[in-house]
């Protein structure tokens, strides 16, 4: 008996704006969002594509990182997630979801703007899992400012350290531990190519992530390691209502995509699975845009 294919109009598959105004203090919690983001908790189905693998995902408590953690666990990987201590309620849910798949889970609360912590959490992951072969650097800071005059040195410092410095520190710590066949995946943004004026510092770091990863890919392929970038467009994550966008933009977030809605984190999970999997053995230094039809150019 042939099962009926799941054919639905992608425009109406997930919630569409307008959304309620819902400001939160940074870093925010996904559980407080309305509608709650779909990270694949009830829908993602694994197929053993990452069986026996060992992954570290930064920003794994919510948003894209949470969707990737769920997908990786259901594909057979052990998963460590890093997150800020304030995000513990969301992180506990992710740890439970990983363990429900019979996989090992490691919670790593800490601040990735601290170089020593970045290096220590990589070591802890490898010690706990007996190695490391997937690194997903995803955690990010996004806080809008209306004018260039409002972007303080402190703003720049926090955004650069969260989005760029931490990437460098984590990669440096991980490289001696990664075997041939391992994968590094970073998270950039459509903002790297089409920056919003109110996200000046964030967009700058996302462009930097693209350049850094492309350069890194040329180095690490000499060790048999691949490095690639995912560049999302508007995705419904807690970054938006916790200061990433003005309230009025949160209410209409994603409506200018070709789909009339923002993407849900679950829609990114398969891309990160592909880039980590053996099927992607000839993919290196690439940028995968998932932008809701707007492209990256």
* CB-based burial label for 184 (10 Å; 0-12, 13-18, 19+): buried
CA angle 31, 36, 39 (to 5 degrees): 95
> Rounded to whole angstroms, how far apart are CA atoms 60 and 66?
5
Q: Which candidate, 167, 169, 173, 205, places its Cα nearest to that of 186? A: 167
> Rounded to whole angstroms, how far apart are CA atoms 45 and 273?
12
CA angle 138, 269, 286 (to 5 degrees): 65
Q: Which residues contact 228 (CB under 8 A, 6 or more apart)?
A: 183, 184, 185, 186, 213, 217, 275, 280, 283, 284, 285, 286, 287, 288
Q: Give the pairing type, strands 105-109 and 54-58.
A: unpaired
CA 140 distance to own-chain centroid:
8
Q: Which residues contact 73 (CB under 8 A, 6 or more apart)?
A: 46, 79, 97, 98, 101, 103, 105
Question: Does the active-site annotation cover 202?
Answer: yes
Catalytic residue among 83, 202, 272, 288: 202
Residues that are catalytic: 202
């Amino acid at each position: 008996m042939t099962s009926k294919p799941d054919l639905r109009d992608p425009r109406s598959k997930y919630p569409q704006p307008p959304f309620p105004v819902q400001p939160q203090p940074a870093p925010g919690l996904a559980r407080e969002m309305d509608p709650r983001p779909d990270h694949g908790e009830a829908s993602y189905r694994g197929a053993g594509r990452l069986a026996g693998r060992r992954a570290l995902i930064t920003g794994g408590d919510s948003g894209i990182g949470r969707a990737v953690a769920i997908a990786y666990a259901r594909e057979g990987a052990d998963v460590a997630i890093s997150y800020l201590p304030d995000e513990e309620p969301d992180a506990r849910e992710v740890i439970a979801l990983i363990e429900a798949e019979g996989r090992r889970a490691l919670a790593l609360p800490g601040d990735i703007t601290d170089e020593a912590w970045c290096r220590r959490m990589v070591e802890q992951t490898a010690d706990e899992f007996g190695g490391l072969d997937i690194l997903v650097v995803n955690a990010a800071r996004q806080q809008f400012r209306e004018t260039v005059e409002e972007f303080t040195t402190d703003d720049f410092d926090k955004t650069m350290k969260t989005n760029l410095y931490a990437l460098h520190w984590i990669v440096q710590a991980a490289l001696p531990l990664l075997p041939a066949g391992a994968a590094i995946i970073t998270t950039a943004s459509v903002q790297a190519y089409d920056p919003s004026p109110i996200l000046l510092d964030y967009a700058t770091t996302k462009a930097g992530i693209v350049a850094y990863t492309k350069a890194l890919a040329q180095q690490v392929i000499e060790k048999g390691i691949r490095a690639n970038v995912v560049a999302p467009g508007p995705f419904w994550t807690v970054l938006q209502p916790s200061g990433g966008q003005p309230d009025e933009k949160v209410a209409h977030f994603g409506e200018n995509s070709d789909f009339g809605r923002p993407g849900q984190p679950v829609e990114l999970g398969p891309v990160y699975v592909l880039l980590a999997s053996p099927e992607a053995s000839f993919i290196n230094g690439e940028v995968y845009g998932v932008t809701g039809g707007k492209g990256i150019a």
